[in-house]
Copies of this chain bind each other. A is one copy, B any other.
Amino acid sequence: MAITLYDLCGRDERLRFSPYCWRVRMALAHKGLPFETVAWRFLEKDALAFANYDKVPVLCDGEQTVTDSFEIMRYLDKTYPDAPVLGKGASYQRALLFKYIVERSVNPALFRIIAMDLLAAIHPGDRDYFRETREARFGCTLEEFHQPEQGKQELKQALAPVRDLLRDSAFLDGDAPGGVDYLLFGSLMWAYVVSLEVLIESGGPVDVWFKRMLGLHDGMAGKAITIRDL
């Protein structure tokens, strides 16, 4: 049965940058599951009414509808147990803990670096919505929140443990990539698709890993359209 992923798109329908959707795309590719995407914009709430949800990713697998990126990864492991991404038991719990770490430290740092680039990458019709919801969350304007140098310092600090690990390991999950790689990669891909900012020290262990991730699964992420292509 066909798998469909509702996937956030930007001012060009081919521009796909949601960190949460990227996690899922990588997990699907990891399992070798073919899928199609449906480009979705922030204001198209009606298109997701069938899922009783108001944001992406939403995954439709035959009759099954699953929402929330981590729940989708979990669903994929349960339904397609080969090539697990999150795993079970302590392995699963440790991936969940890392998900919270990425969302609490990496994502806010990245947002400070790319806030204005993100606004520019979004469909013009979505920009007022994006500005209002994010400014309410941050308690300041997007222009005030946009502090690339501060964000780069925060990102460097947030990624220090990742750098430690990648000095001796090809992937965060070991010799082969796994769910924890996809969780972090999704966030970095978000910034990479919409922004020309240099996020990571060139040639360092995180940069080498990121390029390795871009090449995975027939270069799926490496072939993605970014603002460099528009």
Q: Is residue A215 within 8 Å, beta carbon to beta carbon, of the partner chain? A: no
Chain B residues lying within 8 Å of A94, measured Cβ to Cβ, are 91, 94-95, 97-98, 172-173, 180
Contacting pair B100 A180 (CB below 8 A): no
As for how many copies of this chain the complex holds, the number is 2
Nearest CB in chain B: distance from A101 CB, A: 4
A52 adjacent to chain B (CB < 8 Å)? no
Residues 97-137 of A at the B interface (beta carbon under 8 Å): 97-98, 100-101, 103-105
A172, B93: Cβ atoms under 8 Å? yes
Type the 1/0 row for A70-112, where 1 means its CB is closer than 8 Å to any CB of B: 0000000000000000010111111111101101110000000
Please judge, given known A-B contacts A90-B91, A91-B87, A94-B91, whether A100 and B161 are in contact too, CB under 8 Å: yes
* Chain A to chain B: the 3 pairs with minimum beta-carbon distance, closest first: A94-B94, A100-B161, A91-B91
Q: Chain A interface (Cβ within 8 Å of chain B)?
A: 87, 89-98, 100-101, 103-105, 157, 160-162, 164-165, 169, 172-174, 178-180
